Amino acid sequence: MKTALSALVISTFIAAPAFAIEPIKGSITYDGPSQSTLSKTPVGSVLQHQFNANGNEYREIYVVGDDGRPVLVNRTIVDNS
């Protein structure tokens, strides 16, 4: 059940490229195509990345694509109050 739910969530994010999130400074994918691939990470794996930029704390979620590169699928601003 957990695997099916994860697959559903991931496919929802991947199926909607029209709503692609642009990377900002601090994002893993900010440097574009020159980024390295995650050759030992299984395709579809979910990664989290948290960083500070522009006075805000961000949390991003990535999914490893077919080519081994992380694909940004979600970004939220963390409320520290």
* Per-residue pLDDT tens over the stretch 2-44: 676 566 566 655 555 556 788 888 888 888 755 678 889 999 9
Encode pLDDT of 58-71 as tens digits. 999 999 999 999 99
pLDDT confidence of 79, banded at 50, 70, 90? confident
User: Can you give the pLDDT at residue 2?
Assistant: 62
Domain residue ranges of the chain, discontinuous segments joined by +: 2-77
- 3-class DSSP state for residue 32? helix
Of the candidates 43, 45, 48, 53, the residue with the CA atom closest to the CA atom of residue 77 = 53
- Letter for the amino acid at 2? K
Q: Which residues contact 35 (CB under 8 A, 6 or more apart)?
A: 28, 29, 69, 70
Q: Model-level pTM?
A: 0.69
